[in-house]
Amino acid sequence: MPDTSLPVELILSILEFAYYRNDVVYTVFLSRNPDYRTLAAASLINSSWRTPAQTLLFNHLNDMVAGRVLQTLSDPSFNPERRDTLLGYVRILELRLIPDDRDFSSAHWSSTFPAASMCRMADFWFLLEHCPNLYELSLRFLGVLSLGGRVKLSTRPPNLKALAVMECSSQSPILFELLELFPSVQFLAIGVEVVACPSSPPKHKLYELVMSRSLPAATFEWLVANSAGHLRILEMRDPPSPEIRETLRTLCPRIESLRIMRFNPTALEVIKACTNLKELVLMNLPEMLQLSVISDTLEHLRSVRYDVERIHKLIASLPNLKTFSGFDEPKSHNGLFEDACKSRGISISVGLWPNEEPVIPSKLPRGRSTSNFRVMNRI
């Protein structure tokens, strides 16, 4: 039997250690999904474990569990006060949303995911009203083209800082409706092509922008209109188009972390313009990347795939480098690369493409860590 009389600080340490224990690697990304099974089991040990375990169990509701949790908590027999307590623990919420129209079943919108993982738009509004401490919201819209008249919702999470729109129609105004609803957003991830662009000026100021698709120049300019001097982390998974080159140049001097998945000449210009760069993350090292392009302020270099000899030459040109990370530990001929890093105090670590909690980091690399939850709780 486990020792159930442990101090609460030790219980929390054990739970935080177990939080990512069931980690699964998705291609080049680490998952941020918690180990629900272990946390749920821990919450049943006794009253000393229950609250700390449930705090972490409900901290992150991904799109595979949110629907089932909502179905349980919305049962008329469930205590409303207990429901509000549990939803008050939610900091991260992922939803796969379908229309309220009951004439269409969940299977109509997707045959890939179980019906229990789908939520109706009515569920979305319910959760916004009952998750007062929500910090991060990630959404996929299936068959939903607009938020409709609910954009002026009076009750909303006041501290929401991170928004991700991973799926919606390219013609949909939903991204912009959400930014109007949540002007407090500082961390924005866009996983779709967005063609529309609003006429009203934006209210948000971004610290981090992640783009999985190339955006039209007008859309990109609107998104970052208030972010010059504020944007510190920029991630582009599609090569940046020449049309946004000039806008990027106005942002680059203050960018500290740059992540580029696919390369082109414009990406090279962006790296060169980032004169205060501390972290550079690449999928691989393209031949066009010259040693003189990267700022000597760089402290962390990550290349998921790389040639050891090329990395060796590149690192030699970076006087302030402290950390190098890649998909595998480097193995050079006669260990020359490893010896060169050791002699300069450069640490070598295994690291995939960043998938981290969206918080303002005290240092780079930020990393995925339960310690970031404390930042989310302080907001």
* Higher-confidence position of 41 and 110: 41
> ω before 80 within 30° of 0 (cis)?
no
pTM over 0.85: yes
Q: How confident is the model at residue 300 (pLDDT cuts 50, 70, 90)?
A: very high
* Higher-confidence position of 218 and 5: 218
Instruction: Tell the burial category of 241 from Cβ atoms under 10 Å away from its Cβ (0-12, 13-18, 19+).
Output: middle
- pLDDT, tens digit (0-9, with 9 covering 90-100), for 133-167: 999 999 999 989 888 866 555 667 888 999 999 99
Which of 13-17, 40-44, 270-274, 311-315 has the least mean pLDDT? 311-315
- Among 3-7, 97-101, 225-229, name the most confident range: 225-229
Amino acid at 103: D
- First-to-final CA distance of the chain: 38
Domain boundaries, the chain: 1-56, 295-354+362-379
CA distance 38 to 319: 44
pLDDT of residue 332: 63
Q: Would you tell me how many other CB atoms lie within 10 Å of the CB of residue 70?
A: 22
- Find out whether 89 and 111 touch, Cβ atoms under 8 Å: no
CA distance 61 to 59: 7
The stretch 195-211 carries a mean pLDDT of 92
Which of 189-203, 274-288, 327-341 has the least mean pLDDT? 327-341
- pLDDT, tens digit (0-9, with 9 covering 90-100), for 14-49: 999 999 987 766 566 778 999 999 999 999 999 999
Distant-in-sequence contacts of 375-378, Cβ < 8 A, 24+ apart: 376/91, 376/92, 376/135, 376/136, 377/91, 377/133
**What 3-state DSSP class applies to 143?**
coil
* Higher-confidence position of 340 and 332: 340
Q: Would you tell me how many other CB atoms lie within 10 Å of the CB of residue 141?
A: 25
